[in-house]
Amino acid sequence: MEKIIQLQDIFFSYGDFKAIDGISLDIGAGVYGLLGPNGAGKTTLLKVVLGFLTPSSGHGRVLGMGISSSRKAVRRKIGYMPENDCLIPGMDGVTLTAYLGELSGMPRQEAIKRAHEVLYYVGLEEERYRKVDTYSAGMKQRLKLAQALVHDPQLLLLDEPTSGMDPKGRKEMLDLIKDIAGKGSMNVIICSHLLPDIENTCRRVIILDKGRIAASHDIEGVSEDRFNRFNLKLKGETGAFLEKLESLKCEIDVTDRGLYKIKLPAQESSRKLFEIALASKVQIRHFQQSRTTLEDTFVTAIGVNHEH
Ligand SMILES: Nc1ncnc2c1ncn2[C@@H]1O[C@H](COP(=O)(O)OP(=O)(O)O)[C@@H](O)[C@H]1O
Ligand SMILES: [Mg+2]
């Protein structure tokens, strides 16, 4: 497998606060998702990969180059769509995109030509001569994507690409990302705290929490039994409840966070769980149907009270 990013025991702190608390990972070619709640360390990790932040310890390679040794060369080959605004007030869309292309090492004429192309691609053809300060939140996101694409990078890092967008804009942004991914010529990493963003675009997902890798997950095809999986938190004496579930041929897993993951046989409905709980004098304190396998992994890794 071609290695796009390799990190080994990376630590990074802001002052005393450990934002990256020992991360090792291998990312191959293709499209990867980096999923985690706000504050998990996703943005910090991207900045370490880009060489904007220097880890306090650990080694890393990106596209075959050392992250701390060849920062300039690394950035020429990486397109970065940051989470926060990177737009320069007073510039129009084309000028800004071309300028950022030049900063990535493109000759001026080529940068200008490519700027027009990528702005057309992201759907900003009409607005390309407008000052970027007058752009809506959705247009700014598109422009941020355009500037990340302008120098035709080998690796695209997208940080919260649908941030601030309305549902229609979000769908269009995800469609663009899927289109880029589908072409297969660019490796893509998408960071998001939104499960659907990752689920819609990636097949391979790394889940981050509190500066560590909490799980990794391959999104499989849609499994038929996915609607019969439930995550429960229980209060009371659970012995009788679990025995009855077992006699119904349920599959039961308990996570170390005390979450019961129950798969009901196909013919049973979730109502059965409540009936058995009532009969066994157990209180169901939390009940969630797990709709997809990624959601299941995420809930198990992060706990139930994550933000959506
Ligand atoms: N410049 C900074 N100074 C101090 N703490 C920071 C700074 N940037 C981020 N943090 C903290 O580091 C943690 C990880 O942040 P971040 O990488 O932005 O997470 P994510 O992108 O997953 O939301 C958070 O707790 C955040 O508050
Ligand atoms: Mg972030």
- Reported as half-sphere exposure (CB side, CA atoms, 13 A), residue 240 has a value of 12
* Rounded distance between C-alpha atoms, residue 132 and residue 206, angstroms: 34
Q: Which segment of 4-18, 72-86, 284-298 scores lowest on mean pLDDT?
A: 284-298
Both structure tokens of 285: 């304190």
Secondary structure, 3-state, 72-114: HHHHHHEEEECCCCCCCCCCEHHHHHHHHHHHCCCCHHHHHHH
Co-location of 189 and 252 in the same domain: no
CATH code, domain carrying 279: 3.30.70.100
Identify the CA nearest to 224 among candidates 185, 174, 263, 195.
263
Co-location of 178 and 34 in the same domain: yes
For residue 2, is pLDDT > 80? no
Query: Which among 143-157, 214-228, 273-287 has the top mean pLDDT?
Result: 143-157
Q: Which among 193, 218, 243 is the end of a domain?
A: 218
DSSP reduced 3-state for 36: coil
Co-location of 114 and 147 in the same domain: yes
| Per-residue pLDDT at 168 | 92
DSSP reduced 3-state for 150: coil
Q: How many domains does the chain have?
A: 2
Please name the residue whose Cα sits nearest to atom 4 of ligand 1.
14
Q: Is residue 60 domain-resident?
A: no
- Please give all residues whose CB falls under 5 A of ion ligand 2, grouped by chain where several chains appear: 42-43, 83
pLDDT digits (tens, 9 = 90+) for 21-37: 999 999 999 999 999 99
pLDDT digits (tens, 9 = 90+) for 94-119: 999 999 999 988 999 999 999 999 99
From 12, 14, 81, 159, mutation site for ligand 1 pocket: most ligand atoms within 8 A of C-beta:
14
Co-location of 102 and 201 in the same domain: yes
Co-location of 176 and 248 in the same domain: no
CB 257, CB 286: distance < 8 Å: no
From 17, 45, 212, mutation site for ligand 1 pocket: most ligand atoms within 8 A of C-beta:
17
Q: Is residue 203 domain-resident?
A: yes
Strand partners, 189: 32, 157
What angle, 0 to 180 degrees and rounded to 10, lies between the N-to-C axes of helices 108-121 and 93-103?
A: 130
- What is the number of the ligand closest to the CA of 159? 2
CA 105 to chain centroid: 28
Q: Is residue 185 domain-resident?
A: yes
pLDDT digits (tens, 9 = 90+) for 220-276: 654 455 568 888 999 999 999 999 999 988 988 888 788 898 888 878 888 889 999
Co-location of 71 and 200 in the same domain: yes
Does 47 sit in the ligand 1 pocket, CB within 6 Å? no
Residue 37 CA to ligand 2 center (angstroms) comes to 9
Q: What is the residue range of 236's domain?
A: 224-291
* Residue range 89-95: mean pLDDT, rounded: 94
Relative to the CA of 211, which ligand 1 atom is closest?
A: 14
CB 129, CB 95: distance < 8 Å: no
